[in-house]
Structure 1
Protein backbone atom coordinates (compact mmCIF):
# COMPACT_ATOMS: atom_id res chain seq x y z
CA UNK A 1 0.00 0.00 0.00
CA UNK A 2 1.41 3.34 -1.00
CA UNK A 3 0.72 6.96 -1.79
CA UNK A 4 2.98 7.95 -4.66
CA UNK A 5 3.89 10.79 -6.97
CA UNK A 6 5.02 8.26 -9.59
CA UNK A 7 3.00 6.83 -12.48
CA UNK A 8 0.98 3.84 -11.25
CA UNK A 9 1.51 0.33 -12.64
CA UNK A 10 -1.56 -1.97 -12.38
CA UNK A 11 0.58 -5.05 -13.06
CA UNK A 12 2.68 -4.39 -9.94
CA UNK A 13 -0.40 -3.99 -7.78
CA UNK A 14 -1.93 -7.20 -9.18
CA UNK A 15 1.33 -9.08 -8.59
CA UNK A 16 1.16 -8.13 -4.92
CA UNK A 17 -2.02 -10.19 -4.45
CA UNK A 18 -1.67 -13.05 -6.95
CA UNK A 19 -1.25 -16.63 -5.80
CA UNK A 20 -1.85 -20.18 -7.05
CA UNK A 21 -4.89 -20.56 -4.79
CA UNK A 22 -6.73 -17.67 -6.45
CA UNK A 23 -8.76 -18.10 -9.60
CA UNK A 24 -9.59 -14.40 -9.84
CA UNK A 25 -7.61 -11.20 -9.56
CA UNK A 26 -9.70 -8.06 -9.92
CA UNK A 27 -7.84 -4.84 -10.62
CA UNK A 28 -9.58 -1.47 -10.45
CA UNK A 29 -7.99 1.52 -12.13
CA UNK A 30 -9.35 4.96 -11.35
CA UNK A 31 -8.67 7.10 -14.41
CA UNK A 32 -8.76 10.90 -14.61
CA UNK A 33 -11.70 11.70 -16.86
CA UNK A 34 -12.36 14.85 -18.90
CA UNK A 35 -15.67 15.78 -17.27
CA UNK A 36 -17.52 15.91 -13.96
CA UNK A 37 -21.20 16.70 -13.49
CA UNK A 38 -21.50 18.27 -16.92
CA UNK A 39 -18.36 20.39 -16.66
CA UNK A 40 -15.23 19.94 -18.78
CA UNK A 41 -12.23 18.98 -16.63
CA UNK A 42 -8.75 19.87 -17.86
CA UNK A 43 -6.61 18.39 -15.04
CA UNK A 44 -6.60 17.21 -11.42
CA UNK A 45 -4.31 17.67 -8.48
CA UNK A 46 -4.34 15.30 -5.52
CA UNK A 47 -3.08 16.38 -2.11
CA UNK A 48 -2.66 14.06 0.84
CA UNK A 49 -2.44 14.30 4.60
CA UNK A 50 1.13 13.54 5.76
CA UNK A 51 -0.12 10.23 7.23
CA UNK A 52 -2.32 9.26 4.26
CA UNK A 53 -0.19 6.21 3.51
CA UNK A 54 -0.80 4.93 7.07
CA UNK A 55 -4.55 5.46 6.61
CA UNK A 56 -4.39 3.57 3.31
CA UNK A 57 -2.44 0.69 4.86
CA UNK A 58 -4.85 0.46 7.78
CA UNK A 59 -7.83 0.49 5.41
CA UNK A 60 -6.34 -2.33 3.34
CA UNK A 61 -5.34 -4.37 6.39
CA UNK A 62 -8.84 -4.09 7.87
CA UNK A 63 -10.46 -5.15 4.59
CA UNK A 64 -8.04 -8.06 4.25
CA UNK A 65 -8.78 -9.21 7.78
CA UNK A 66 -12.54 -8.93 7.24
CA UNK A 67 -12.54 -10.69 3.88
CA UNK A 68 -9.67 -13.12 4.39
CA UNK A 69 -8.34 -12.09 0.97
CA UNK A 70 -5.10 -10.46 -0.15
CA UNK A 71 -5.49 -6.93 -1.44
CA UNK A 72 -3.36 -3.96 -2.34
CA UNK A 73 -3.83 -0.35 -3.36
CA UNK A 74 -1.75 2.59 -4.51
CA UNK A 75 -3.03 6.17 -4.78
CA UNK A 76 -1.25 8.83 -6.76
CA UNK A 77 -0.82 12.42 -5.57
CA UNK A 78 0.34 15.56 -7.30
CA UNK A 79 -0.72 16.95 -10.67
CA UNK A 80 -2.45 14.52 -13.03
CA UNK A 81 -3.75 14.94 -16.56
CA UNK A 82 -6.67 13.39 -18.39
CA UNK A 83 -6.09 9.65 -18.78
CA UNK A 84 -3.64 9.31 -15.87
CA UNK A 85 -4.26 6.64 -13.24
CA UNK A 86 -5.17 8.10 -9.85
CA UNK A 87 -5.89 4.84 -7.98
CA UNK A 88 -5.08 1.19 -8.54
CA UNK A 89 -6.62 -1.42 -6.25
CA UNK A 90 -6.41 -5.21 -6.55
CA UNK A 91 -8.04 -8.15 -4.80
CA UNK A 92 -7.44 -11.86 -5.32
CA UNK A 93 -9.96 -14.58 -4.45
CA UNK A 94 -10.71 -18.17 -5.35
CA UNK A 95 -13.74 -16.99 -7.37
CA UNK A 96 -14.57 -13.80 -9.29
CA UNK A 97 -17.78 -12.74 -7.50
CA UNK A 98 -16.03 -12.36 -4.17
CA UNK A 99 -13.04 -10.58 -5.75
CA UNK A 100 -15.32 -8.07 -7.51
CA UNK A 101 -17.37 -7.40 -4.37
CA UNK A 102 -14.36 -6.90 -2.09
CA UNK A 103 -12.59 -4.71 -4.64
CA UNK A 104 -15.65 -2.47 -4.98
CA UNK A 105 -15.89 -2.14 -1.20
CA UNK A 106 -12.17 -1.43 -0.92
CA UNK A 107 -12.39 1.44 -3.42
CA UNK A 108 -15.34 2.95 -1.52
CA UNK A 109 -13.52 2.72 1.80
CA UNK A 110 -10.40 4.31 0.37
CA UNK A 111 -12.47 7.16 -1.05
CA UNK A 112 -14.21 7.68 2.29
CA UNK A 113 -11.49 6.92 4.86
CA UNK A 114 -8.14 7.98 3.38
CA UNK A 115 -7.34 11.70 3.67
CA UNK A 116 -6.56 12.44 0.04
CA UNK A 117 -8.19 15.45 -1.57
CA UNK A 118 -8.79 16.20 -5.21
CA UNK A 119 -8.68 19.62 -6.84
CA UNK A 120 -10.44 19.60 -10.19
CA UNK A 121 -9.38 22.19 -12.72
CA UNK A 122 -12.04 23.04 -15.26
CA UNK A 123 -11.54 24.22 -18.80
CA UNK A 124 -13.24 27.53 -17.93
CA UNK A 125 -10.34 28.34 -15.57
CA UNK A 126 -12.21 27.65 -12.33
CA UNK A 127 -11.36 24.86 -9.89
CA UNK A 128 -12.93 23.08 -6.93
CA UNK A 129 -11.78 20.78 -4.12
CA UNK A 130 -13.44 17.39 -3.74
CA UNK A 131 -13.21 15.07 -0.75
CA UNK A 132 -12.34 17.60 1.93
CA UNK A 133 -14.68 15.79 4.33
CA UNK A 134 -12.62 12.55 4.28
CA UNK A 135 -11.67 11.50 7.80
CA UNK A 136 -13.62 14.31 9.39
Structure 2
Protein backbone atom coordinates (compact mmCIF):
# COMPACT_ATOMS: atom_id res chain seq x y z
CA UNK A 1 0.00 0.00 0.00
CA UNK A 2 1.25 3.48 -0.87
CA UNK A 3 2.24 5.53 2.19
CA UNK A 4 0.74 8.64 0.60
CA UNK A 5 -2.88 8.05 1.48
CA UNK A 6 -4.58 11.39 0.79
CA UNK A 7 -3.50 14.51 -1.09
CA UNK A 8 -5.96 17.16 -2.21
CA UNK A 9 -6.60 20.81 -2.85
CA UNK A 10 -10.29 21.50 -2.32
CA UNK A 11 -12.77 24.34 -2.41
CA UNK A 12 -14.93 22.66 0.25
CA UNK A 13 -14.46 22.47 4.03
CA UNK A 14 -11.71 20.15 5.25
CA UNK A 15 -12.20 17.31 7.73
CA UNK A 16 -9.72 16.47 10.49
CA UNK A 17 -11.46 13.10 10.91
CA UNK A 18 -10.98 12.25 7.22
CA UNK A 19 -7.27 13.08 7.34
CA UNK A 20 -6.66 11.27 10.61
CA UNK A 21 -8.51 8.21 9.31
CA UNK A 22 -6.39 8.24 6.15
CA UNK A 23 -3.16 7.84 8.13
CA UNK A 24 -4.30 5.12 10.54
CA UNK A 25 -1.64 2.44 10.40
CA UNK A 26 -0.83 -0.46 12.74
CA UNK A 27 2.90 -0.09 11.97
CA UNK A 28 2.90 3.44 13.39
CA UNK A 29 3.80 4.17 16.98
CA UNK A 30 3.35 7.90 16.49
CA UNK A 31 0.92 9.96 14.46
CA UNK A 32 1.00 13.74 14.24
CA UNK A 33 -1.59 16.06 12.81
CA UNK A 34 -1.29 19.77 12.11
CA UNK A 35 -4.36 21.91 11.51
CA UNK A 36 -3.89 25.44 10.17
CA UNK A 37 -6.82 27.81 10.68
CA UNK A 38 -7.68 31.35 9.63
CA UNK A 39 -6.74 33.70 12.44
CA UNK A 40 -8.19 37.11 13.15
CA UNK A 41 -4.88 38.97 13.11
CA UNK A 42 -1.80 38.96 10.92
CA UNK A 43 1.19 41.26 11.31
CA UNK A 44 -0.68 43.24 13.96
CA UNK A 45 -3.64 43.97 11.66
CA UNK A 46 -7.21 42.66 11.94
CA UNK A 47 -8.17 40.31 9.09
CA UNK A 48 -11.71 40.54 7.67
CA UNK A 49 -11.42 38.29 4.60
CA UNK A 50 -9.01 35.65 3.43
CA UNK A 51 -8.94 33.78 0.15
CA UNK A 52 -6.60 31.11 -1.20
CA UNK A 53 -5.84 30.51 -4.88
CA UNK A 54 -3.85 27.65 -6.37
CA UNK A 55 -1.91 27.27 -9.59
CA UNK A 56 -3.08 24.35 -11.79
CA UNK A 57 0.18 22.53 -10.94
CA UNK A 58 -0.42 22.76 -7.17
CA UNK A 59 -1.57 19.16 -6.66
CA UNK A 60 1.38 17.86 -8.68
CA UNK A 61 3.75 19.94 -6.54
CA UNK A 62 2.01 18.76 -3.38
CA UNK A 63 2.63 15.16 -4.47
CA UNK A 64 6.30 15.93 -5.12
CA UNK A 65 6.65 17.44 -1.61
CA UNK A 66 4.87 14.45 -0.03
CA UNK A 67 7.03 11.95 -1.93
CA UNK A 68 10.20 13.70 -0.74
CA UNK A 69 9.04 13.62 2.90
CA UNK A 70 8.11 9.95 2.56
CA UNK A 71 11.56 9.22 1.09
CA UNK A 72 13.45 11.14 3.79
CA UNK A 73 11.62 9.75 6.84
CA UNK A 74 10.32 6.29 7.84
CA UNK A 75 6.74 7.28 7.03
CA UNK A 76 4.08 4.57 7.20
CA UNK A 77 1.26 6.90 6.16
CA UNK A 78 0.93 10.54 5.08
CA UNK A 79 -1.91 12.90 4.17
CA UNK A 80 -2.18 16.58 3.25
CA UNK A 81 -5.16 18.68 2.19
CA UNK A 82 -5.36 22.43 1.52
CA UNK A 83 -8.41 24.60 1.04
CA UNK A 84 -8.86 27.20 -1.69
CA UNK A 85 -11.51 29.88 -2.07
CA UNK A 86 -12.92 32.32 0.48
CA UNK A 87 -12.47 31.35 4.12
CA UNK A 88 -13.86 32.86 7.31
CA UNK A 89 -12.15 33.32 10.65
CA UNK A 90 -11.67 29.93 12.30
CA UNK A 91 -12.04 27.94 9.06
CA UNK A 92 -9.50 25.18 8.48
CA UNK A 93 -7.09 26.13 5.69
CA UNK A 94 -4.72 23.16 5.76
CA UNK A 95 -4.34 19.77 7.44
CA UNK A 96 -1.29 17.52 7.33
CA UNK A 97 -0.84 14.22 9.12
CA UNK A 98 2.05 11.78 9.28
CA UNK A 99 2.36 8.35 10.87
CA UNK A 100 5.78 6.85 11.62
CA UNK A 101 7.13 4.01 13.78
CA UNK A 102 8.18 6.50 16.49
CA UNK A 103 6.84 9.87 17.70
CA UNK A 104 10.04 11.83 17.09
CA UNK A 105 10.09 10.78 13.45
CA UNK A 106 6.41 11.66 13.10
CA UNK A 107 6.97 15.15 14.52
CA UNK A 108 9.99 15.79 12.27
CA UNK A 109 8.26 14.49 9.14
CA UNK A 110 5.09 16.46 9.86
CA UNK A 111 7.08 19.66 10.39
CA UNK A 112 8.91 19.15 7.10
CA UNK A 113 5.66 18.39 5.28
CA UNK A 114 3.87 21.58 6.38
CA UNK A 115 6.96 23.76 5.93
CA UNK A 116 7.69 22.44 2.43
CA UNK A 117 4.02 22.66 1.48
CA UNK A 118 3.97 26.33 2.52
CA UNK A 119 7.20 27.16 0.69
CA UNK A 120 7.00 25.03 -2.46
CA UNK A 121 3.37 24.40 -3.41
CA UNK A 122 1.97 27.28 -5.52
CA UNK A 123 -0.92 28.34 -3.31
CA UNK A 124 -1.36 32.04 -2.64
CA UNK A 125 -3.18 33.82 0.16
CA UNK A 126 -5.04 37.10 -0.33
CA UNK A 127 -6.01 38.82 2.87
CA UNK A 128 -8.07 41.94 3.44
CA UNK A 129 -7.73 43.93 6.65
CA UNK A 130 -10.25 46.05 8.58
CA UNK A 131 -8.39 49.23 7.53
CA UNK A 132 -9.13 48.42 3.88
CA UNK A 133 -5.58 47.36 3.06
CA UNK A 134 -5.05 44.05 1.27
CA UNK A 135 -2.06 41.88 0.47
CA UNK A 136 -1.07 38.77 -1.41
CA UNK A 137 1.21 36.41 0.45
CA UNK A 138 3.63 34.33 -1.69
CA UNK A 139 3.47 30.58 -1.41
CA UNK A 140 1.47 29.42 1.59
- TM-score w.r.t. the length of structure 2 is 0.90
Moved segments of 4+, more than 6 Å: none
Once residues 13 and 64 of structure 1 are traced to their aligned partners in structure 2, the CA distance between those partners, rounded to angstroms, is: 16
Give the corresponding residue for 1:116.
123
1:22 match: secondary structure: coil
Structure 2 counterpart of 1:96, from 91, 97, 103: 103
Unmatched segments (≥5 aa) in structure 2: 1-6
Give the corresponding residue for 1:15.
21
Following superposition, the deviation at residue 68 of structure 1 comes to 2.7
Q: Deviations over 1:12-57 (max 9, x none)?
A: 1122221111122111000100001110111210000011111111
Once residues 107 and 129 of structure 2 are traced to their aligned partners in structure 1, the CA distance between those partners, rounded to angstroms, is: 32
| C-alpha contact (below 8 Å) 1:2/1:57 kept by paired residues | no
Give the corresponding residue for 2:4.
none
Cα root mean square deviation, aligned: 1.0
Unmatched segments (≥5 aa) in structure 1: none
Following superposition, the deviation at residue 11 of structure 1 comes to 1.4
Following superposition, the deviation at residue 62 of structure 1 comes to 1.4
Following superposition, the deviation at residue 105 of structure 1 comes to 1.0
Closer, same or farther: CA 97–68 of 1 in aligned 2, 3 Å: closer
Verify: 1:34 aligned to 2:40, yes or no: yes
- TM-score w.r.t. the length of structure 1 is 0.93
Give the corresponding residue for 1:58.
64
Give the corresponding residue for 1:6.
12
Following superposition, the deviation at residue 106 of structure 1 comes to 0.7
